Chain A
Amino acid sequence: MPLPPNDTAPDSGVIHNIGYRGYQGPRLGRGYATGALFVQGLRAAYGLGRSGKSKVLPMLVAAALALPALVIVAVAIIMKLDKLSVGYADYISLSVMGIFVLMFLAAQAPVLMSRDLRHNTVPLYFSRPITRTDYVQARFLAMAAALMLLMTVPLVLLYLGALLAGLPFGENTGQFAQGLFAALLYSVLYSAIGLLIAAATPRRGFGVAAIMGVMFVSIPLVGIVYGLSSGVGPAPESANWAALLSPSTVVHGLVNEMFSITTGGSLHAPGGIGIAVFALETAVLTGGSYWLLLRRYRNI
């Protein structure tokens, strides 16, 4: 005998509408939300949580930056060298792999800033507990952390490889720390400048081009001024002031002089005054860009 129609679904696979349930749990407030924005930004810088093709470029650049470190290590081990053929701080400077760091910045800073502007997500964030300052802070830290991670991976590879090859522990540890310090300076300075430029336009393409322009055009400028002031003979000490013309060479010169690194190019801050001026420029560029970034978001 057929059963009468039953209005409760017989199989348990059906999702029942259980009605609306409120939320009584904790609300963790501004600090937590800023942290969530930071994590989202850091992930987005590597294309995580986004489409497959947005992972391609950051991952390729990260690989391009890390693989030569393996080669250097392999060479050191096989040839039984008494030190790595490239110094830690030199490795991430413009004279070796720094160009990839700039590429990463140019490509990914607009991912953090322009996209939110373009898709009008910024006003939506501001309808949440965070403030404008929190937003800028989270984005800045995310970009800086992404760059730091990018440079830390090859440095760690170099360091582990050096230890594996039985190179002197103390010397390598010191130089590794110097490398990390240089990476930190690059990270905060590049992030501040890159994000400021990226925040100027909702168009990602423009952002990429503008960052490339500012960062790359200033590099040959340094070379030209350096060349002109050194003339035909060996470069005088004063030619090094040319390094002030580009963010990349400022950090490079500062680190070289601070730690007396003479390998990988001779560019260095001239003496104690040089250190002070180069450090001041790094601080002013970073702080100034960050302040302008805060101003940029004041009226959105």
Chain B
Amino acid sequence: MSTVIKTDGLTKKFPRVTALDQLTVEVQPGVVGLVGANGAGKSTLIKILLGLAPATSGTGQVLGLDIATEGSAIREQVGYMPEHDCLPPDVSATEFVVHMARMSGLPAAAARERTADTLRHVGLYEERYRPMGGYSTGMKQRVKLAQALVHDPKLVLLDEPTNGLDPVGRDEMLALIRRVYTDFGISVLVTTHLLGELERTCDHLVVIDGGRLLRSSSTASFTEVTQLIAVEVTDRPDEPGFDAEAAVLARLTAAGLSARTDGTKIMLVQLEDDDTYDTIRDTVADLGLGLVRLEQRRHRVAEIFATETGGPSDAAAS
């Protein structure tokens, strides 16, 4: 399958704010993360992609269908999992998902069959016959995912699917999202403000801020190995006042390497060639210190996001 989502100069202006500003982006099949702080325009983008709100200007296609004129056809082929709670409490999961399947155009018998299949795939078993009011957050999130998948869409839009989940539930949800693409063959566009999650789940990241595209590239390129080595050493046990880091930094600088601390116990040394490792080892040994850590640094998505938006974001605290 070719491009899943394609927008060209997409702009959405509300009376007082510009939610999307000349957004041009292409999304290929796979698990794609849509990253942005609250109010960055993620939800607006999803609404426009579903053909529910008209764009002020610009064009877009979802699965090759025009968002301005073929909204109904798009929504038949796309699943949507909203961020907020959307489950009536006095209805069972089965009843609800069957209903949503029929709302997607599935005949009654197929709707029941697909519902049973889908609920099993998301991990809901006996409890699916009970009213949803008594479900835990994790179970509710699974039902919400199931209703987005029940009509076997070609693409699902997941809005903050890990919201409110505990760490275990979050890991399970992320694994499930991964499986939606690898096992079910359904492309995924997932929004979240927790960057750590995207690093593990997504093939590709689209970063938007203030309605504008900051960056769109593969997750690997966000997290590629950088030319930095992290070094951590012990203190001298017999000399508590000795500043080990300062001594190491002084020696390394004298040896012609560029080195700095990052404010904690960890020093970052620029990698020149293979000898750099030897120099660090010898320096530490010379000073009679213990070497705790000597490793190549990988970028984390959060760092890039923080530098590109011009300041650390509280969203990066994942």
Contact = CB atoms under 8 A, between A and B. Distances in A.
B186 to A, nearest CB: 9
B105 A27 contact: yes
Interface stretch (B75-83, B210-218, B223-231, B251-259): B75-83
Contacts of B121: 20
Contact of A32 (B91, B105, B114, B120): B105
Interface stretch (A85-93, A96-104, A115-123): A115-123
Nearest to A121: B86
B106 A119 contact: no
Interface stretch (A127-135, A211-219, A220-228, A272-280): A127-135
A22 B183 CA distance: 11
B260 to A, nearest CB: 49
Interface stretch (A49-57, A62-70, A153-161, A236-244): A49-57
Query: Chain A interface mostly helix, strand, loop or mixed?
Result: loop
A240 to B, nearest CB: 45
B81 to A, nearest CB: 9
Nearest to A40: B99
Category for how many chain B residues contact A: 35 or more
Contacts of A37: 103
B115 to A, nearest CB: 11
Contact of A123 (B82, B100, B183): B82
Interface string B252-294: 0000000000000000000000000000000000000000000
A245 to B, nearest CB: 37
Q: B50, B89, B100, B183 — which one has the most chain A CB atoms within 10 A of its CB?
A: B100
Contacts of A125: 103
B209 to A, nearest CB: 25
B99 A127 contact: no
Nearest to A27: B105
B99 to A, nearest CB: 6
B80 A124 contact: yes
Interface in A17-31: 19-23, 25-30
Interface of B: 50, 52, 71-73, 75-76, 78, 80, 82, 84-91, 95, 99-100, 102-107, 110, 114, 117, 120-121, 131, 147, 151-152, 183-185
A-B pairs, 6 with minimum CB distance: A23-B152, A127-B80, A36-B102, A27-B105, A28-B105, A128-B103
7 contacts: A26-B107, A29-B105, A33-B103, A33-B105, A120-B84, A123-B82, A129-B103
Interface of A: 15, 19-23, 25-30, 32-33, 36-37, 40, 49-51, 54, 115-116, 119-121, 123-131
